[in-house]
A and B are shown apart, each in its own frame.
Chain A
Amino acid sequence: MVIKKTRINKKAQIKLQEMAFVLVAIVIFFALVIMIYLVTRTGSLKESAEEQRREEVQLLGLKLADSPEFSWSGCSGCIDIDKAVAVKERRAYKDFWKVYYLMIERVYPNHTIRECTREVFPDCNTITIINSTYYGTPTAAYVALCGYDENNHDRCELGRIYISEKEVK
């Protein structure tokens, strides 16, 4: 009688052990799945936060393009390149916008690679308006740069506006 009871107990113990193993395996599996998911999700969250920040800076660039200091009357979102050269030479604008770096590059058509000043314009390709000592990596957005050609006709070209924001969220 006693021997039979002990046998049953042992069998039940083995069954319990089996169940415990299965439960532990399932818990480990779930933990792994959740961990992998969280790692992927965090990675993509960081990526999307960075992307969002980049988009915000790009929008700031386009907003600047529409400001009275840069806007071209012929089309919305276009930069008046003559205004940009004039703004570059005025010291009052160095702290006007909350940006560390503000530069306009003429992308198409090709121009001589050098900084624009009133003397060399239009034979130049960059207009650096604000250039602080520290500015990190600037974000760029494509814009249309417009002005008058030698025959006084409206002419737009493709450019890029580079911005490095002061307040990084």
Chain B
Amino acid sequence: MLTFRGVRKSYGDVVAISALDLTVRPAETTALIGPSGCGKSTLLRLAAGLVLPDTGTVTFDGLALSPATIEAARHRMGYVIQEGGLFPHLTARANVTLLADHLRRPRAWIDDRVESLRDLVRLPADSLARFPTELSGGQRQRVALMRALMLDPDLLLLDEPLGALDPLIRADLQRELRAIFGSLGTTVLLVTHDLNEAARLADRILLMNEGVLVQDGTFADLRDRPTGSFARRFVSAWDAP
């Protein structure tokens, strides 16, 4: 689905990702976890083509991402960031349908799709006519998810999607997201700094530190058999719920 081959990315003198090889498996939820600055967000941005690797290639569904191929690839990806990244000048509904409108999808198809996504993310019907500033934080993230899912993407990229929410809403949404991912069977690549969240949502957890992949496995692998001193410290700093 998504593979990284010998990918290296630096910003000036700062190396964000060094020599990374990784395959994100289809229909799995993969969580990228690690301290801030470990390179997990850069990895997600490489996947979305927001930055290009210095060396190596990122391949999406057999196609190497490049300025020529990225736009078509993005139509098959959904992308959600911490604050949702909703456009404040558009209603929730217009945010959701922006790309479909641009691609001139049939009106009836759009209406059906919006309705079924609204059901899926359990957003109240009247919220769609509101502007982002008129929605709660949780509602904004639901709308952002609807926007990301609008064209039924093959890959969902989520950058700290619940990071700005208060703990109660966050826990609710984690449960719902898990159910949504399960029902859609979509490939998900998720960035979080919260091991609990990764444990709840992900089939596979990738622990990163200083631009390097430290451990690759399930939550149980990481909890019970951390490899190396960093992984041990990371796990021991986390209080089991």
**Binding partners A and B:** no
A residues near B (Cβ < 8 Å) are none
B residues near A (Cβ < 8 Å) are none
